[in-house]
Structure 1
Amino acid sequence: MIRWLHDAVLEELLDRAGYAVGDPPARPVRWSLWVRVGRRLLGAGPAAPVRR
């Protein structure tokens, strides 16, 4: 589960970096079912919205 959560964090970080420099991703990252379950088990809420 840690691997899936780690990958999701990196993918989201890269998406946000793209938005920050004015080059948004063609397809923003979507969390897999396992990432959503893992975040819920760890007590993490939904991701903060991206300011575009």
Structure 2
Amino acid sequence: MSVDITCGKCGEKISTMQMLKSVKDVMKHYNNKCPSCGQVLSVTEFLLDVEKK
């Protein structure tokens, strides 16, 4: 199972995780901003979309 983290503004994939870990830990590498559009990303307000592959 993998988890994709995408920007809610531009839709750019920010990260793909193979093992679950805190979203806060992933986002601190990007200074809590989308590397593509610069949108400030919230670790408390997000959507979860699940797809079966």
Q: Which structure: larger Rg?
A: 1
TM-score (norm 1): 0.26
Structure showing the higher strand proportion among its residues: 2
Structure showing the higher helix proportion among its residues: 1
TM-score (norm 2): 0.25
> Which structure's relative contact order is higher, taking Cα pairs within 8 Å and 6+ residues apart?
1
